[in-house]
Amino acid sequence: MPAVPKPNEETVTPVFSDELEKWLGSDKPKTLAGLEDVLEKRSFAVLILFLMSVPALPLPTGGVTHVFEVITILLGLQMVAGLKAIWLPAKWRQRELGEATTGKALPFIVRRVRWFEKRSKPRGQQMLQSRWFSRVTGAVVIAFSAGAMFAPPFSGLDTLPALGAVVLCLGVILGDLFVYCAGILIGVGGISLVLFFGAAVVHGVKMLFQ
């Protein structure tokens, strides 16, 4: 017969950053499938946060960010379609993430997640967990991922749209609509800069050939 909690006992909900840090320090495979299994119900938001964390960092990545952005767009499409379970090709799910990602990028993100956890509180949880809102989030994630992907090479402008997706997903994970909206503002600002810079480059090229 299961033990009945005492009236004065409090149920402690695991902190997201602690769960992620525990997974990083465990012997479990460091793959997308492994991350998905550890953080079950929040899989879409957690995987997108992880994938977009890499292009959100001002670090040389050797082009791997485009792979992560393509996967993120695929996840966004699945959210828009209303899928409850993640579908990814087996090859992508089982591929090792690499020491640069698990040893540098993710520990950096864990520290930033803790900063948000200390300052966030439940706001708009019912809205964030609704199915229609999940579809909206998927569409926004696609836009931010595309903005990061098509940012001019070596400009560093891909960081802001990617960071917007990271903060937005963190808002979903923490159940804080304020953090979610902050991610929207960051991502929209980043895409605006990408469009402005891209238009300036096109205009400059046209001027050269006139």
Residues 187-202, mean pLDDT to the nearest whole number? 81
For 128-178, write each residue's pLDDT tens digit. Answer: 888 899 999 999 999 999 988 887 766 677 888 999 999 999 999 889 999
pLDDT of residue 19: 82
Q: 11-15, 72-76, 137-141: lowest mean pLDDT where? A: 11-15
Burial class (CB in 10 A: 0-12, 13-18, 19+), 74: middle
pLDDT of residue 208: 72
Contact (Cβ atoms closer than 8 angstroms) between residue 131 and residue 82: yes
d(CA 165, CA 142): 9
d(CA 166, CA 187): 9
For 59-70, write each residue's pLDDT tens digit. Answer: 655 556 788 889
Domain locations in the chain? 16-208
pLDDT of residue 145: 93
Alpha-carbon radius of gyration of the chain: 19
Where helices occur in the chain by DSSP H, the ranges are: 16-25, 32-38, 43-56, 64-80, 90-94, 99-100, 106-119, 125-128, 131-149, 159-174, 177-208
CB atoms within 10 A of CB 94: 13
Q: Is 203 helix (H, G, I), strand (E, B) or coil?
A: helix
d(CA 56, CA 108): 11
pLDDT of residue 9: 44
| b/e code 112-139 from CB counts within 10 Å (16+ = b) | bbbebbeebeebbeeebeeeebbeebbe
pLDDT of residue 12: 44
d(CA 190, CA 195): 9
Say which DSSP state 104 is in. I
d(CA 70, CA 142): 9
Q: How confident is the model at residue 201 (pLDDT cuts 50, 70, 90)?
A: low
**Which tokens hold the place of 20?**
């992620």
d(CA 93, CA 25): 20
Considering only residues 171 and 98, tell me which one the structure prediction assigns the higher pLDDT. 171
Question: Taking CA 44 as the corner, what is the angle to CA 186 and CA 88, rounded to the nearest 5 degrees?
Answer: 120
pLDDT of residue 189: 92
d(CA 189, CA 136): 18
